[in-house]
Amino acid sequence: MAIRIGTRSSALALWQADRVRAELEKESIDVEIIRIKTAGDRNRTDSILNLGAQGVFAKEIQLALLENRIDLAVHSLKDLPVEPVPGLVFAATLDREEVSDVFVSVKYKTPGELPDGARVGTGSLRRRCQLAYRLRGKDVRIDDLRGNVETRLKKLDAGEYDAVILAAAGLKRLGFDGRIDDSRRLTPPDFLPAPGQGALGLECRAEDGATLAVLNKINRRDVYAAVIAERAFLAALRGGCIAPIGAYARHEDGRLVLDGRILSFDGAEQYDVRMTGGPDADAARRLGEAAAEKLTIPEVKSILNEVARLRERKEK
């Protein structure tokens, strides 16, 4: 049996595809990796928020799946939209890398050391808002930063930014472990990751029984349940990539624990929820939905109404 893997062309995406290839080859599967350029790859200047459409790093790869040009898509799971695509299924994931974000700086060890007037770069609204909430009362600029991990680090080292916020998973996978230490980690529950951060999303056609059978063999079911809870939380809030939403689920004492968070767009307000549920994927989905329901207070509804208005403007 042979499987064609579709992936973005960045160094990180290719690392991820090779990681999946190694697992498939253990199952005696022949693998071909096919590189696909996405809208997010073609436009490296506009912010993700301004690009508007959901799935700027996923849609072309999903189209290749639907058109039978590939058999399996490998995504950074945080980039895979939660809205279902008819004919496709998020079927599996592998071991999860560290979920934390990292404060990376040449001059400063922690965000608290940043002086007034410092400039921080991030391409994530979730990171921007959580950092703004953490630095309330300080006059720190948090500016948009696009590009791959290497590009962002080069801009930091060139002095364009005093600090950048990056995912620990990407830094580790690309060999930049030296940029991480305990003082620089932005860890849950203080700083929540994006739903699915640190995990891979393995997507295939729903009717492709042969590929589904193979993915079932390599799927890490505990990780799969955790990210299902996080994605169900995001889906129920209908935030997509526009809303500053974080979520982190993990197994503790045979139960699944989910922390969820949504912030106002200016980072002034933060609303949290923690709930526990059963350990399997079906219970995880219900857990995520229940946690979102618990957060539907008037203040959060106001944020989500703003999200809906933004989405409508982007889609016109």
Taking the C-alpha atoms of residue 76 and residue 74, their distance in angstroms, rounded to an integer, is: 7
- Active-site annotation holds for 139: no
- Give the largest Cα separation in the chain, rounded: 59
Tell me if 198 sits within 8 A of 155, measured CB to CB: no
Catalytic residue among 79, 162, 208, 259: 79
- Identify whether the C-beta of residue 119 lies closer than 8 Å to the C-beta of residue 194: no
- What are the angstrom distances between the C-alpha of 277 and each of 46, 139, 249, 251, 271? 39, 41, 10, 10, 20
Using alpha carbons, list the distances in angstroms from residue 140 to 85, 118, 260: 40, 5, 26
Q: Tokens 């809208």 label which residue?
A: 39
Task: Give dist(CA 75, CA 227) in Å, integer.
Answer: 13
| Angstrom distance (rounded) from CA 68 to CA 305 | 38
Burial class (CB in 10 A: 0-12, 13-18, 19+), 42: exposed
d(CA 165, CA 100): 10
Residues tagged active-site: 79
